[in-house]
Structure 1
């Protein structure tokens, strides 16, 4: 099964808040990635999800390290696997089932991310 990870990213020069969450979804030889303000909480409603360039799969492993290019520090805080099909189109809606540290239906649509548990 493909994997997911959430990273706490601090000190990014383009992040005025100083800390955000990177959501990574394994997709081939890299990870599709979105910037979130907080870790998705089940049934807590949607939050903005900003698409980012693909990230390396090494970030799916347990680690805490400096981000290349003096772009802060990242630490993996949640991980697991997902089922479902991640669309190839970066602007298509995403609906996946998460298993692992976070569980439930992850949905990314119209620039927002939510996690629901029936």
Structure 2
């Protein structure tokens, strides 16, 4: 049904914690997944993003979840329905129209960078 979710992932370590964001889009049997360290801002410069192994569909519906083996805590901070507007299938380039509160507009992933814009 073309669902997407933005998760804030707090990773615990011995004396501190780290935060990153996981962006997941429904892909039939699982979710395409990317990780970034800061949120993209509307019509601003591209930010670094990295492809991650696909995640299970259950992450589209979870609101908060403590990860096993003390790997951290995940909280949904945005979600919605996306429209894929990529001209062709290319595993290095994606274009989605997102309808969220934090991520709203054209979200483009090209290799290891992403950008959010209103131009679509």
Calculate the TM-score normalised by the size of structure 1: 0.84
Please, which runs of 5 or more residues in structure 1 have no aligned partner? none
In structure 1, C-alpha distance between the alignment counterparts of 2:17 and 2:51, rounded to whole Å: 17
In structure 2, C-alpha distance between the alignment counterparts of 1:56 and 1:103, rounded to whole Å: 24
In structure 2, C-alpha distance between the alignment counterparts of 1:59 and 1:28, rounded to whole Å: 13
Match for residue 71 of structure 1?
A: 71
**Per-residue deviation, residues 66-111 of structure 1 (Å, max 9, x unmatched):** 123432110000001110157765x320011111322111100021
Number of aligned residue pairs = 115
In structure 1, C-alpha distance between the alignment counterparts of 2:68 and 2:56, rounded to whole Å: 11
Match for residue 98 of structure 2?
A: 98
Structure 1 pair 117–64 and aligned structure 2 pair: CA distance change class (3 A)? same
In structure 1, C-alpha distance between the alignment counterparts of 2:19 and 2:51, rounded to whole Å: 16
Match for residue 108 of structure 1?
A: 109
Secondary structure of the corresponding residue to residue 113 of structure 1: strand
Calculate the TM-score normalised by the size of structure 2: 0.83
Give the alignment's Cα RMSD to 1 decimal. Answer: 2.2
Structure 1 pair 76–52 and aligned structure 2 pair: CA distance change class (3 A)? same
Q: What aligned pairs does 1:1-118 form with structure 2 within 5 A after superposition?
A: 1-11=1-11, 18-84=18-84, 91-101=91-101, 102-118=103-119
Please, which runs of 5 or more residues in structure 2 have no aligned partner? none
Secondary structure of the corresponding residue to residue 45 of structure 2: coil
- Verify the 8 A CA contact 2:105 2:118 in the aligned structure 1: yes
Larger radius of gyration: 2
